Amino acid sequence: MIDSLEGGKMYVAYVRSVCGSDSTQYYSGWSKGVWVYIPNKKIYTVTAVADYDERGRVIGGGEYEEGSVATLTADAKAHYRFLQWGDGNTANPRDVMVTQDTTFTAMFTEREGVAVADSLGSAFRLMPNPATGSVVCIVEGDPFPGGTLTMTDASGREVLRRELPPHSSRCNIDLSLFPKGILFVTLATSEGNSTQRLILE
C-alpha cells in the first residue's frame, strides 16, 4: 500500500519482502522519479548475565531496535551485593544505547561480615572484600586444624602460598604488590577446602 501526499510531503510505502516479513520504506518525494530510501532499523540482542548465578541476576536483556535504550538492573541475592559491570561501569541500573549485539556481565561480591562455608567444618571469609592494601583471612567455628592458604589470579596462576598453624583464626595478607582485579583465595585443610573470590581495587 502506498500513501501519497502532494506538496512535498513524505510518502510511505508498505511492502512485503520475499521472506514474508513486513517492512516500511520512506520516500522524500516523487520529483523526477527519484525516491530516497531509508531502510528499516535493525534488531540487536542485548545479553545480560551475572558472573555467578547463585549471587544474583540481571534484568533487562533481550531484543531491541537499533538506536533504542536498554535499561539493565543488577539484582543481588541474599548475602551478596552488586559491585560493578564487566566494563568497569558502576551504575545500577544503567542505560545502554543499542547499536550492536552486546553482552553485559554484572559482578557481585559477598557482603562484609557474611561467612561462606564450603566443605570445611569451619567457615572461611575475607575482610574487607573488596580490598585495597590488605585483607584479613578469618576462620570461624570448629577449632582450626591448620592448613595451606593459596592465592591465584584470574588465569589460574598461583601468586601466594602460606602455611597456617593449627588453632590460628586469622591471617593478614599484604596486597600492595598485586595488580587490581580478581583473586581467588583457597584454604585447604584435612577437613576440606574453601575458596573465596577476592576483589582487589
Mean pLDDT, range 2-16, rounded to an integer: 42
What is the pLDDT, as a whole number, of residue 18? 38
pLDDT bucket at 73, cuts 50 / 70 / 90:
very high
Q: Distance (Å, rounded) from C-alpha 198 to C-alpha 160? A: 13
The neighbouring-strand residues paired with 150 are 161, 186
pLDDT bucket at 71, cuts 50 / 70 / 90:
very high
Report, at the CATH architecture level, how domain 123-200 is classified.
Answer: Sandwich (2.60)
Q: Is the dihedral of CA 172, 177, 182, 186 positive or negative?
A: negative
Q: Distance (Å, rounded) from C-alpha 189 to C-alpha 43? A: 53
Contacts of residue 20, defined as CB under 8 A and 6 or more positions apart, other chains included, come to: none
pLDDT in tens, 21-35: 444 444 444 444 555
